[in-house]
Amino acid sequence: MGLDIEQDEGFQRREWVWQRSGTVLLVLIVMAALAGLLGTGPLSWTERDSADGVVTVAFDRVTHHEADDSMTLAFGPEAVSGGTVTVELTGAWPGGVDVQGISPEPTEQRIAAGGLVLEFAVEDTDHLEVTVGFRPQEYGMLRGEVTVAGRSVSFSQFVLP
């Protein structure tokens, strides 16, 4: 004599499909995080440069709201004019972040239409590298453009909570 237990095999199959789908989704999220698509990792850091290499921007593709982050701007000798390098940061990026510090410090810093203008006195005309420390203040995609000596480099960062 056996137990008479009702079974709903259709429901059980659907439940197994949902369980497998959830497991696959969790594995994909963990792999994306390890790769750097959700924060720091091998795929998170990238560089953009102008066609002639005068301007290079190195930054994280993904950053987090109110988290300390930095961006590196590098300029070749063609960027120097009269012993100074004038950098324009435009787009949504300058308005969407709180700049915490710039190293080396610019000799002049001013707000311009659509962004920020930084001037640096240059002694070594071969290469200038500037680090901009910032904290994102907005969520979503922040697009920006760095312009020096008529050469521009566009970049974008995605800000997560």
**pLDDT tens readout for residues 50-64:** 888 889 999 999 889
pLDDT band at 67 (very low <50, low <70, confident <90, very high): very high
For residues 69-96, average pLDDT: 91
Q: Is the pLDDT of residue 39 over 70?
A: no
Cα 101 to Cα 48: distance, rounded to the nearest angstrom: 21
pLDDT at 130 over 90: yes
Which pLDDT score is estimated for 96?
Answer: 93
CA 145 vs CA 62, 140, 154: distances in Å: 17, 17, 4
Is the model more confident about 1 or about 13? 13
pLDDT of 122 reads 87
For residue 91 the two structure tokens come to 């787009």
Query: Tokens in use for 115?
Result: 């962004």
- Side-chain-side CA neighbours of 94 within 13 Å: the count stands at 18
Indicate the average pLDDT of the chain. Answer: 89
Please, are residues 95 and 143 in contact by the beta-carbon 8 Å criterion? no
* pLDDT, tens digit, 9 for 90 and up, residues 87-98: 999 999 999 999
Q: pTM for the whole thing?
A: 0.77
| pLDDT surpasses 90 at 124 | no
Confidence of residue 35 (pLDDT cuts 50, 70, 90): confident
Query: How many Å apart are CA 90 and CA 144, to the nearest integer?
Result: 6
How many CB atoms are closer than 10 A to CB 140?
12
Which pLDDT belongs to residue 1?
Answer: 59
